[in-house]
Amino acid sequence: MAMRRNLCPAILAGSVLFGFALLAGPGARGAAISPPARVGVPAVVELQHATTLPDGRTLTAFTLVRADDAGETGTTLQATSGGDAAAFATIGVWGAGGVPVPVKYVFASDRPGLSAFPAMLWAMSRWSSLAGQTFSFAYAGAAAQPPDVACEDVARSDGINTVSFVATLPADVLGSTCVLSTRRAGVVEIVEFDMVFSAAIPWSTAAGATPAGQLDLYSTALHEFGHALGLGHSDDPTAVMKPAIHDGEQGRNFSNDDLAAIFSLYGTGTGATPLATPGAPPAAGSGVFQLRLGQVASGEKK
């Protein structure tokens, strides 16, 4: 999906802290919660902005910013959930004809010593391999170039789902995921997404603990691919889909609420139990990522 430039002013001006301040739909409930507080450790939160395009489609932008830039540090916000018990929210669903969802990676956007390709494949595999549901991602090869900027109010859709680094994001933006959807027969159906990460951020790709002062790229990718498959944010502080993360923190384990969220969209009714300890991501070049449509060795370019 190719997007026009100048993301930040339009997106941030009309944004809310998604997961903390949402427009409540039928049956939604609110519960006052505070952003996680860790003295001296900056938090990253995610803003959400949805725009109806002239052709009737909806462009939903999830934008990662520092908590200070969101203007929400130290405040108590109103969180909404999708029902009496569930903490999750959803934004749409891929139609059966669109699954597995093909995803391309922009290798030209990599920086020396930094690639999001292993994290992308790992995150895709984690969501795709959950039992009891019908959704999956599929690696579709290299993309020639990234969108100008993922997530702007006016989209020029190209029908390609991409992941890349971008050097032109505003200084306060760490990354963004843009999801394009349309309404068909009363169902909000996702048709495309783009995901970008700032090339200026100190990302960590460590298989073990994330060093202090760095953000875990694997946790971030896992969260962003949740948006790509149709999930919003969760009020559950243990969920992958919670709307905030701190420097040095990891969110690589699915919670029961994450499972309930994906089952609500793609469940077969058989249920599933996540691995208690999913294990660290393999080091670059050391493993094989199993996807439903085949195998792609980590670090391999196709």
Is residue 14 pLDDT above 60, yes or no? no
pLDDT at 123: 97
pLDDT at 205: 94
Give domain status of residue 223, yes or no. Answer: yes
Say if CB 87 and CB 257 are below 8 A apart. yes
pTM score of the predicted model: 0.77
User: In whole numbers, what is the pLDDT of the chain averaged over residues?
Assistant: 73
pLDDT at 279: 44
DSSP 231: B
Report which of 55, 36, 52 is spatially closest to residue 44, judged by C-alpha positions.
Answer: 36
Beta-sheet pairing, 173-184 with 101-105 = unpaired
Give domain status of residue 302, yes or no. Answer: no
**Mean pLDDT to the nearest integer, 218-247:** 95
Is residue 41 pLDDT above 60, yes or no? no
Q: CA 135, CA 95: separation in Å to the nearest integer? A: 10
Percent of the chain whose pLDDT exceeds 70: 66
Cβ burial, residue 139 (10 Å; 0-12/13-18/19+): buried
Give me the CATH number covering residue 196. 3.40.390.10
CB atoms within 10 A of CB 92: 23
By residue range, what is the domain housing residue 80?
2-297
pLDDT at 237: 92
Termini Cα distance of the chain = 20
Say if CB 229 and CB 264 are below 8 A apart. no
Say if CB 173 and CB 198 are below 8 A apart. yes
Say if CB 161 and CB 102 are below 8 A apart. yes
Give domain status of residue 229, yes or no. Answer: yes
Number of domains in the chain: 1
Give the model confidence (pLDDT) of 93-125 as tens digits. Answer: 999 899 999 999 999 999 999 999 999 999 999
Cis check for the bond before 211: say yes or no (omega within 30 of 0): no
**Mean pLDDT to the nearest integer, 239-253:** 93
- Cα 215 to its chain centre, rounded Å, is 15
Beta-sheet pairing, 162-166 with 187-198 = parallel
Region for residue 114 given its phi and psi (left: phi exceeds 0; alpha: psi -120 to 50; beta: otherwise)? beta
Report which of 289, 14, 297 is spatially closest to residue 151, judged by C-alpha positions.
Answer: 14
pLDDT at 42: 56
pLDDT at 85: 56
Q: CA 99, CA 134: separation in Å to the nearest integer? A: 8
pLDDT at 275: 41
269 to each of 89, 102, 143, how far by Cα in Å?
A: 19, 25, 36
Which residue(s) pair with 39 in the sheet? none
Say if CB 44 and CB 64 are below 8 A apart. yes
> What residues contact 47, with CB distance under 8 A and at least 6 apart?
11, 12, 15, 16, 17, 18, 61, 62, 63, 65, 70
pLDDT at 230: 97
Give domain status of residue 230, yes or no. Answer: yes
pLDDT at 263: 96
Give the model confidence (pLDDT) of 57-76 as tens digits. Answer: 888 999 999 876 554 433 22
Which residue(s) pair with 294 in the sheet? 291
Structure tokens, 145: 């170039």
Give the model confidence (pLDDT) of 115-168 as tens digits. Answer: 999 999 999 999 999 999 999 999 999 998 766 444 554 556 788 899 999 888
Confidence band (pLDDT; 50, 70, 90) for 55?
confident
